[in-house]
């Protein structure tokens, strides 16, 4: 795509990043003006505005504010993900956390997992594959509920389709690829059984009330999104996840993320590569 002529001034960047932060908690550092500029200048052109001042007016006072916020989040979020991303951590989930959970839930046979900020769906579908191969023929006896949520509508549409380019498969074992995907014209269609194990919903972490309607979870994965947040937003998210985990629930975060400065009762799981926390009572 050719570059557009619309440029963002420092003052416009400051106003826009403040609005983005208030609405989503995403913190654009001083050095990230080019990200907002490059991702939104075409939108300014599409709307036939002359500059970002007109866009800011439209975003904050126009009749279609909520639609435009959605459009903006579709464009400015970083959605990098893949199947079996950070496999050592997923091994801890599958080989250590999951067997204990299946044992402790053997009477109710109910398990709820939330992939929070799931992007295009590779993470919740990976968890579904792990559940599928762990339970085998017992899967039918269980109520497995895996929820994937994201702030971007665009990524959720891709997730729902369950069709992926080979780039999404860069960390997948070839046997798993063969077992769970069908190759069609250079892309990979996910097995419908795995697809049916996951539901997707739009959710902005800022909206704790909307999050509560999803109920409580045994496990929450929230990986590679806290890096875009500052400490107050991390605290907000940690409180949200704490309140939505069952008492012995586990939270997995990204390998470059931490809850160190966040004062919420979580106990780190003392296993190398786990990057996980167990909920302690508040």
- Tell me which residues touch ligand SAM (CB under 6 A): 24-26, 77-81, 85, 117-119, 123, 150-152, 155, 203-206, 223-225, 228
Q: Which is nearer to ligand SAM, 24 or 41 (CB)?
A: 24
65 CB-side CA count, 13 A: 10
Tell me whether residue 8 or residue 155 sits nearer to ligand SAM (CB atom): 155
Whichever of 155 and 197 has its CB closer to ligand SAM, that residue is 155
Catalytic one of 39, 42, 75, 105: 39
CB hemisphere CA count around 60 (13 angstroms) = 14
Q: Least distance in Å: CB of 80 to ligand SAM? A: 5
**List of residues 6+ apart from 172 with CB closer than 8 A:** 82, 83, 84
Name the minimum Å distance from CB 60 to ligand SAM: 19
Report d(CA 55, CA 165) in Å as an integer. 34
CA distance 45 to 58: 13
Shortest separation between residue 91's beta carbon and ligand SAM, angstroms:
16
The number of C-alpha atoms within 13 Å of 249 and in the hemisphere containing its C-beta is 21
Report which DSSP code applies to 228.
G
From the CB of 147, what's the least distance to ligand SAM, in Å?
13
Residues 6+ apart with CB under 8 A from 281: 247, 265
In the bound complex, what is the minimum distance in angstroms from residue 192's beta carbon to ligand SAM? 22
Cα 202–chain centre separation:
10
The verdict on whether 218 is a catalytic residue reads: no
> Is 150 labeled as catalytic in the residue annotation?
yes
Between 105 and 154, CB nearer to ligand SAM: 154
197: closest CA among 254, 262, 149, 127? 127
If the CB atoms of residues 101 and 151 are measured against ligand SAM, the closer one turns out to be 151
**Which residues are annotated as catalytic?**
39, 150
């Amino acid at each position: 795509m050719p570059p557009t002529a619309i440029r963002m001034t420092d003052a416009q960047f400051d106003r826009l990043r403040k609005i983005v932060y208030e609405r989503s908690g995403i913190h654009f550092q001083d050095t990230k003006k080019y990200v907002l500029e490059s991702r939104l200048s075409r939108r300014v052109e599409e709307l036939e505005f002359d500059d970002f001042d007109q866009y800011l007016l439209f975003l904050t006072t126009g009749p279609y504010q909520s639609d435009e916020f959605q459009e903006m989040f579709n464009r400015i979020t970083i959605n990098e993900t893949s199947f079996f991303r950070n496999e050592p951590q997923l091994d801890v989930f599958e080989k250590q956390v999951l067997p204990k959970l299946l044992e402790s839930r053997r009477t109710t046979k109910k398990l709820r997992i939330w992939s929070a900020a799931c992007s295009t769906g590779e993470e919740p579908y990976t968890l579904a594959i792990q559940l599928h191969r762990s339970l085998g023929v017992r899967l039918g006896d269980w109520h497995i509920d895996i929820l994937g949520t994201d702030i971007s509508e665009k990524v959720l549409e891709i997730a729902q389709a369950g069709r992926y380019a080979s780039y999404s498969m860069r960390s997948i074992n070839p046997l798993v690829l063969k077992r769970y995907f069908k190759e069609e014209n250079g892309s990979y269609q996910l097995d419908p059984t795995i697809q049916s194990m996951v539901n997707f919903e739009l959710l902005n972490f800022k909206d704790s009330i909307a999050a509560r309607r999803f109920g409580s979870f045994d496990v929450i994965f929230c990986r590679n999104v806290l890096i875009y947040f500052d400490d107050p937003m991390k605290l907000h998210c940690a409180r949200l996840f704490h309140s939505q985990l069952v008492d012995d629930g586990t939270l997995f975060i990204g390998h470059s993320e931490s809850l160190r400065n966040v004062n919420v009762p979580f106990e780190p799981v003392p296993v190398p590569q786990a990057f996980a926390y167990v909920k302690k009572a508040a």
